[in-house]
Amino acid sequence: MIFKATRLTVAAALFGAFPLAVLAQDFTPENPECIAPANPGGGWDFTCRQVGKSLQDEGLLSKTVQVVNLAGGGGGVAFAEVVNKRNDDNDLIVAASTATATRLAQGAYPGNTMDQVRWLASVGADYGVIAVAKDSDIADLPALLEIIKNDPTKISVAGGSAVGGWDHLKVLIAANAYGIEDVRKIKYIAFDGGGEAVTQLLAGSVQAFTGDLSEAKGFVDSGDIKVLAVLSPERLEGEFADFPTAREQGVEAIGANWRGFYAPGGMSDAAYEAWVSKIGTLYASDKWKEIMKTNGLAPLDLQGAEFEEFVAASVQQIQDISREIGIIK
Amino acid sequence: MDTLSSLADGFAIALTWQNLLLALLGCFLGTIMGALPGLGPSNGVAILIPLAFTLGLGATPSLILLTSVYYGAMYGGRISSILLNIPGDEPAMMTCLDGYPMAQKGMAGQALSLSGIASFVGSFFATWGLIFLAPQLVKIALLFGPAEYFALFALAFMTLGGVSSTNQAKSAFAAALGLGLAMIGVDTQTGVPRFTFGEVHLYDGLDFLVAIVGLFALSEVFIFLENRHGEADGKKAKIEVGPLTPSMSMLKQTTPTMLRSTVLGFLAGVLPGAGASLGSFISYSMEKRLVDPKGKTFGKGDPRGVAAPEAGNNAAAGGALVPMLALGVPGSGTTAVLLAVLLSLNITPGPLLFSQNPDVVWGLIAALFIANFMLLAMNIPMVGLFTRVLMVPPRILMPVVAMISFVGIYGISGSSFDLLVMVGFGLLGWILRKFDVPLVPIILGTLLGNSMENNLRRAITIDNGDWFTLVDTPLALTLWAIAIIGFILPLIIGRKVKAQMHERGDHEGSTSD
């Protein structure tokens, strides 16, 4: 504890010593690198590759961003590597998402906390959906939650994350908002990814599905599943405009799987500001809007200090729910 | 006929110089990667992903290159299994059991070309299966809920005993050890870390590639080191490849085997998660049960024991593409890597793929046919070229094996921790070999353990703790019945029909020799 406190003091002293307003142009990464803390193909990998490529295409970086896949421990290996070995690397950014915040909140990165790194910016959000099979009798979200309220054994909800993971928490957020007291009774079945969960939904092994909009999109388009609610503050645009939000059905639940980046805790302020401004500029570009659209990403425009606060709030919310369902003490 | 015209369109896409060249390159590199111990299809494909991206290839050419590597590696895996008794990749494990004894009898060339033909038969028919089944897939896959999967995995383990060992107890011990090792890591059902000792590298569990390379490749190096000390230069240093053409009688004998195994392997491949290893494993054990229940010739160089797993694993490779393309659910480890490639090319596999990107799907399928013929051509007359890579004397080859093991594993995971785990597995493999404990069940245990456990717990949770859910559907019951018969039959009835089988076994043994 004493050590931790000392470290915080030192960090505070360091942050205080440097003025934050340094010109962004002062810094250009020599060998820009993006760590995707998972194997190729997942969301983190996508974040690194798309942002890395777009930064170069838009002329914000002259060099190619090297994407390094450092899988393990649900992002914990990469987090530990950044904190312990590359703490003052100015050329490095790391892809993160709600999953990162969830694991930090639940202490699943042994010995690591969110203030050991600097949070750069978000590049979009993937809102949660709750869906049922297309031939299900359940018509809307309140109907589903009412069945669960009366007899939780009747509904098995399938999702792609572990118990206590983000897919699980989304259901609990919705159940909480509906007024279900004992959320621990809700049956959540963890599958290896959203695809497998949807397959089991279609097979009739489970009755409901919780996941992200982007992974559910293909199954909606093919007419296999029926989206009961999107956990976004307002209806989304374009092809997603048909999906009702949970809010308009009287369930005050919002669940966004944000995507963004963090940087090493010892990154210089000049470098930090430069990265924040580059990612911010990219976010505002038309090209990025196009990429968000094709990949089912909804807007989430947060940079620098704002993003840092957002992540802190997100960690706090997850910690509260996790404590309630007994995942952490 | 819709299908056939789509296929014709696919050939029009695949038959460009660039795509043909990529297929050829993929087949060649794939075969080498498959042949080299430790480098299997999944790492082969993984290693070439950067190449496909740096060449700036489009979706179809990239997929053609990478699936050619995939098919090539499935062919190549058999080469080192037969010549060195080290599986070139994990699905080729079963080929060692009869391939190596055949090589020791001086029939290496025949074993190689026979397995080449078996590979061709397996993947050729599986590609046809892919064409007709992929659109129909949803119905088959949907019959399998968690309870059915659990029954299927149980079936795999219960028929395991007679596969690789003469001692059932040692097999069971090895399988239990494998299942135990699979428990390491974060439990995906509850998110609780098990047996990780606070070590973040263990949170994702043991990578079975690391385990395989350690158990098979490194333990081979250790055993060589130990023997080398006593004897001069190892008596098995040289294996004559011998004549390449298998005799007509051998082909005739193995044709039904290949066809049976193709069907079984294909089905094993189609099941999400089961993959090529299960394909070759089920094909081999079923074939053994069917034609040689007493273990008279299998394991001692029976050509059918070479043809079955090779047809099985190549058919499974084709089968594994079915759920990946049609559902977006990978049927094996390698298709999981391919799925990753598709996603990064901005193509979402799944029910929509066939209607939205027909050029990608049918171009890919046509390329699979082309690659298959290229591979047959490469692997029979030119097999000498590939074997030369492996015919180096052990004192040179073994350090190379060690080097590739280390470089290969580090190349995939970039983690020095995995290297230590690999060395650990190498030592474990060396010790277990001294006790004559078979290594294959350990790998199967680690490979299937998590899925098996998760499906059991899912099934039970869904039915609110009711264990009878496991035997609730006709499909589950059928699978259990096969599993129980497969386990008990050799134990109980075995003794009664022993005499009878003894005669038949003798008879068959003499024809196959």
Q: Using the 8-state DSSP alphabet, how is residue B346 labeled?
A: T
Size of the A and B interface in Cβ pairs below 8 Å: 127
Q: Is residue A151 domain-shared with residue A180, that is, in the same domain? A: yes
**B501 vs B231, more confident:** B231
Of chain A, the percentage scoring pLDDT greater than 70 comes to 91
Residue of A33, A188, A205 to mutate when probing chain B, most B C-beta within 10 A: A205
Percent share of chain B, pLDDT over 70:
74
- A39 touching B, CB under 8 A? yes
Q: The CATH number of the domain where A107 resides is what?
A: 3.40.190.150
CB proximity list for B2: less than 8 A, separation 6 or greater: none
A window 234-273, beta carbon within 8 A of B: none
- Model confidence over B207-219: pLDDT tens digits? 766 777 788 778 8
Residue of chain A whose alpha carbon sits nearest to that of B463: A153
CA B243, CA B253: separation in Å to the nearest integer?
18
**Inter-chain residue contact A294 with B346, CB threshold 8 Å:** yes
User: Which three-class secondary structure string do you get for B159-186?
Assistant: CCHHHHCCCHHHHHHHHHHHHHHHCCEE
Task: Give the residue numbers spanning the domain of A57.
Answer: 2-126+257-324
CATH number of A145's domain: 3.40.190.10
Higher-confidence residue of B44 and B263: namely B263
Residues on B contacting A at a C-beta cutoff of 8 Å: 46, 49, 138, 141-146, 186-191, 198, 200-201, 203-204, 272-273, 327-329, 336-337, 339-341, 343-344, 346, 348, 350-352, 413-415, 454, 458, 461-462, 464
Q: Please say if the pLDDT value at position B494 is more than 50.
A: no
Instruction: Evaluate if residue B397 carries a pLDDT over 50.
Output: yes
Say if residue A81 is in the same domain as residue A156.
no
- What does DSSP say about strands A256-264 and A156-159: parallel, antiparallel, or unpaired? unpaired
Judged against a pLDDT cut of 50, whether residue B504 lies above it is answered with no
Q: Which residues of B touch A109 (CB under 8 A)?
A: 200
- Which tokens is B257 given? 């085997």
Question: How many whole angstroms separate alpha carbon A28 and alpha carbon A31?
Answer: 9
Amino acid at B494: G
* Every domain of chain B and the residues it spans: 3-226+242-504
| Mutant choice from A68, A77, A293 vs B, greatest count of B C-beta within 10 A | A77
Dist CA B445 CA B455 (whole Å): 15
Q: Give the orientation angle of helix B59-84 with respect to helix B358-379, to 10 degrees.
A: 30
% of chain A at pLDDT higher than 90: 36
Contacts of B414 in chain A (CB under 8 A): 68-70
Q: How far is CA B5 from the centre of its chain?
A: 32
Which residues 280-319 on chain A approach chain B with CB closer than 8 angstroms?
Answer: 294-295
Note whether A167 and A241 are same-domain residues. yes
Would the CB atoms of A40 and B49 count as touching at under 8 Å? yes
Is the CB of B344 less than 8 angstroms away from the CB of A46? yes
Instruction: Please say if the pLDDT value at position B273 is more than 60.
Output: no
Specify the range with the lowest mean pLDDT, choosing from B25-29, B115-119, B257-261, B496-500: B496-500
Same domain for A224 and A288, yes or no, is no
Closest-CA distance, B77 to chain A, in angstroms, reads: 24
State how far the Cα of B290 lies from the Cα of B305, in Å rounded to an integer.
Answer: 12
CA atoms within 13 A on the CB side of B438: 26
Whole-structure pTM over 0.80, yes or no?
A: no
pLDDT classification of A131: cutoffs 50, 70, 90: very high
Domain-ending residue, one of A225, A249, A273: A249
pLDDT above 90 (res A272): yes
Q: Does residue B346 surpass a pLDDT of 90?
A: no
Kindly tell me the burial class for residue A237, based on how many C-beta atoms sit within 10 Å of its own C-beta (0-12, 13-18, 19 or more).
exposed
The nearest alpha carbon in chain B to A45 belongs to: B344
Residues of B in contact with A224 (CB under 8 A): 351
Q: What's residue B356's pLDDT?
A: 66
pLDDT attached to residue B50 = 60
Tokens of A152: 């939780």
Report pLDDT for B285: 79
Q: Which of A30-39, A105-114, A320-329, B151-160 has the lowest mean pLDDT?
A: B151-160
- State the pLDDT confidence band at B391, using cuts at 50, 70 and 90: low
Euclidean distance between CA atoms A35 and B87, whole angstroms: 33
Alpha helices in B199-328 (DSSP H): 208-212, 219-230, 248-270, 275-291, 303-327
Distance CA A122, CA B268 (A): 42
Nearest to A218 among B142, B339, B350 (CB): B350
A41: its two tokens: 């193909």
pLDDT value for A1 = 41
| pLDDT(B188) > 80 | no
Higher pLDDT, B390 or A2: B390
- Are A233 and A148 in the same domain? yes
Residues A40, B203: C-beta atoms closer than 8 Å: no
| B432-448 pLDDT, tens digit each | 988 888 776 787 777 77
Residue A298 gets which letter from DSSP?
Answer: B
Residue range B126-161, pLDDT digits in tens: 999 888 887 776 556 667 788 887 887 777 677 655
Verify that A136 and A203 share a domain, yes or no.
Answer: yes
A121 and A6 fall within a common domain: yes
* ipTM of model: 0.72
- How close is the nearest chain A Cα to the Cα of B146, in Å? 8
Residue at which a domain ends, from A220, A249, A278: A249
Lowest mean pLDDT, pick from A44-53, B437-446, B450-459: B437-446
Question: Does A108 touch chain B if contact means CB atoms closer than 8 Å?
Answer: yes
List the one residue out of B13, B22, B9 whose CA is nearest residue B374.
B22
Judging contacts by C-beta atoms under 8 Å, the chain A residues touching residue B461 are 156, 187, 189
Q: Which residues pair with A263 in a beta bridge?
A: A118
* Domain end marker among A229, A249, A269: A249
CB B263 within 8 A of CB B312: no
The confidence score (pLDDT) of residue B351 equals 58
- Is A218 touching B (CB cutoff 8 A)? yes
B346 and A327: CB-CB below 8 Å? no
Asked if residue A329 is part of any domain, the answer here is no
Q: Which of B196, B335, B462, B469 to mutate to test the interface with A (most CBs of A within 10 A)?
A: B462
Q: Do residues B427 and B222 make contact, with C-beta atoms less than 8 angstroms apart?
A: yes
**CB contact at 8 A, B299 and B165:** no
Q: Judge: A196–B138 Cβ closer than 8 Å, yes or no.
A: no
| Least CB–CB distance from B348: residue in A39, A42, A218 | A218
pLDDT digits (tens, 9 = 90+) for A87-120: 999 999 999 999 899 989 988 888 888 999 999 9
| Chain A residues lying within 8 Å of B145, measured CB to CB | 200, 203-205
Look at chain A and report how many structural domains it folds into: 2
CB A65 within 8 A of CB A52: yes
**Tens digit of each residue's pLDDT (9 = 90 or more) over B274-284:** 567 777 877 88
Residue A328 pairs in a beta bridge with none
User: Which residue does chain A place closest to B145, by CA atoms?
Assistant: A205
- Lookup: tokens for A179: 């007024």
Clarify whether residues A262 and A226 are in a common domain: no
Query: Do A136 and A119 share a domain, yes or no?
Result: no
Which pLDDT score is estimated for B233? 43
Rounded to whole angstroms, the Cα distance separating B475 from B147 reads: 10
Structure confidence at residue B220 (pLDDT): 77
Q: What is the pLDDT of residues B153-183, one digit of tens each?
A: 777 677 655 444 456 778 788 889 989 998 9
Distances (CA, A) of A212 to A298, B189, B288: 11, 19, 46
Determine the Cα–Cα distance for residues B63 and B49; give it in Å rounded to an integer.
10
Amino acid identity of B215? L
Long-range CB pairs of B64-67, under 8 A, 24+ apart, other chains included: B64/B14, B64/B19, B64/B22, B64/B23, B64/B26, B64/B363, B64/B364, B64/B367, B64/B371, B65/B22, B65/B23, B65/B25, B65/B26, B66/B26, B66/B338, B66/B341, B67/B26, B67/B321, B67/B338, B67/B364, B67/B367, B67/B368, B67/B371
* Same domain, yes or no: A68 and A78: yes
pLDDT band at B39 (very low <50, low <70, confident <90, very high): low
Question: Rounded to a whole number, what is the distance in Å from the CA of B352 to chain A's nearest CA?
Answer: 6
Q: What is the mean pLDDT of residues B43-68?
A: 74
Chain A residues in contact with B272 by the CB 8 A cut-off are 196, 199
**Is A86:A92 a contact under the CB 8 Å cutoff?**
yes
